C-alpha cells in the first residue's frame, strides 16, 4: 500500500482531460489500490487518478456511511450513460480543494458504464450519495471541478484564496 500525494488547487493538472485506459492490467490495479488507500486515509468518498497527478481515466469511490461496511468501487473509463430529470442537492467538497464545501445540484440518479478491477465491462445504476460522487469524479477526468457548478463569484473567491496560499507557501 502506498499513500500518494494529492494535488490541490490551483495545480493546472486538475484542468487536464485524462486519457482512457487501454486495459485494466496489474499496473492499473496497483494504481487503483493506491488510490483507495489514499482516499481512505484522507478521508474522502471518491478520488480521481488526476488528483494524484496520474492522467488516466480511473476513479475510486466509497459512498458507504461511516457506520456501514466499506463498499470500495473501482472504475476505469467510466462514462455516464443516462441521468434522471430529478435533481438532488449535496454539500460537496473535494480533496483537491480542502476545507471548502458548497451545495451543488446534480441529477439525482445516473447510469455509469466502466471497466471494473478485473477489467470486466460493467453497468451500474447509481442513486443517493454514490450518484453525486460518481458524477463529481467523472467531471475530474474531464478537467471539471465542483466549483465550476457554483456561482462565478464564489468560484473566483475560492480560486483566489488557494492561489494566494500557494504563493505564500512558495515564498516561505
Ligand atoms: Ni473532487
- Residue 4 Cα distances to 24, 47, 53, angstroms: 20, 11, 9
Backbone φ and ψ of 114, nearest 5°: -170, 170
Q: Given 85, 86, 92, 137, which residue is catalytic?
A: 137
Is cis: bond before 110, omega within 30 of 0? no
pLDDT for residue 68: 86
Provide DSSP, 93-115: EETTEEEEEEEEEEES-EEEEEE
> How many CA atoms lie within 13 Å of 66's alpha carbon, on the beta-carbon side?
1
Give the pLDDT score at 104. Answer: 98
Catalytic annotation on 105? no
Could you tell me the distance, in angstroms and rounded to a whole number, from the CA of residue 128 to the centre of ligand 1?
17
What distance in angstroms lies between residue 122's CA and the mean position of ligand 1's atoms?
A: 23
**Is the CATH number 3.90.45.10 carried by domain 12-171?**
yes
C-alpha cell at 93: 467538497
Spans of all domains in the chain: 12-171
Reported in sequence order, the residue ranges of the chain that DSSP labels E, i.e. its strands, are 46-48, 58-61, 73-83, 87-94, 97-107, 110-115, 121-126
Extract the C-alpha cell encoding 5.
Answer: 500525494
Please tell me the distance between residue 86's alpha carbon and the centre of ligand 1 in angstroms: 22
Model's pTM, two decimal places? 0.96
How far, in Å, from the CA of 47 to the mean position of ligand 1? Answer: 6
- SS3 of residue 89 by DSSP: strand
* Tens place of pLDDT per residue across the chain (172 aa): 799 999 999 999 999 999 999 999 999 999 999 999 999 999 999 999 999 999 999 999 999 987 789 999 999 999 999 999 999 999 999 999 999 999 999 999 999 999 999 999 999 999 999 999 999 999 999 999 999 999 999 999 999 999 999 999 888 7
Amino acid at each position: 500500500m502506498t499513500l500518494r500525494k494529492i494535488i490541490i488547487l490551483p495545480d493546472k493538472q486538475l484542468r487536464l482531460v485524462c486519457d482512457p485506459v487501454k486495459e485494466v492490467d496489474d499496473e492499473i490495479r496497483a494504481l487503483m489500490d493506491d488510490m483507495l488507500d489514499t482516499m481512505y486515509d484522507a478521508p474522502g468518498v471518491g478520488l480521481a487518478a488526476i488528483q494524484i497527478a496520474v492522467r488516466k481515466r480511473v476513479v475510486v469511490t466509497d459512498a458507504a456511511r461511516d457506520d456501514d461496511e466499506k463498499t470500495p468501487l473501482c472504475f476505469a473509463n467510466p462514462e455516464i450513460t443516462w441521468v434522471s430529470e430529478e435533481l438532488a442537492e449535496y454539500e460537496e467538497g473535494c480533496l483537491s480543494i480542502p476545507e471548502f464545501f458548497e451545495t451543488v445540484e446534480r441529477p439525482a440518479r445516473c447510469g455509469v458504464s466502466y471497466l471494473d478491477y478485473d477489467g470486466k465491462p460493467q453497468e451500474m445504476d447509481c442513486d443517493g450519495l454514490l450518484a453525486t460522487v460518481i458524477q463529481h469524479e467523472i467531471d475530474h477526468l474531464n478537467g471539471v471541478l465542483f466549483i465550476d457548478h457554483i456561482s462565478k463569484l464564489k468560484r473566483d473567491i475560492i480560486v483566489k484564496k488557494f492561489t494566494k496560499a500557494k504563493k505564500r507557501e512558495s515564498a516561505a
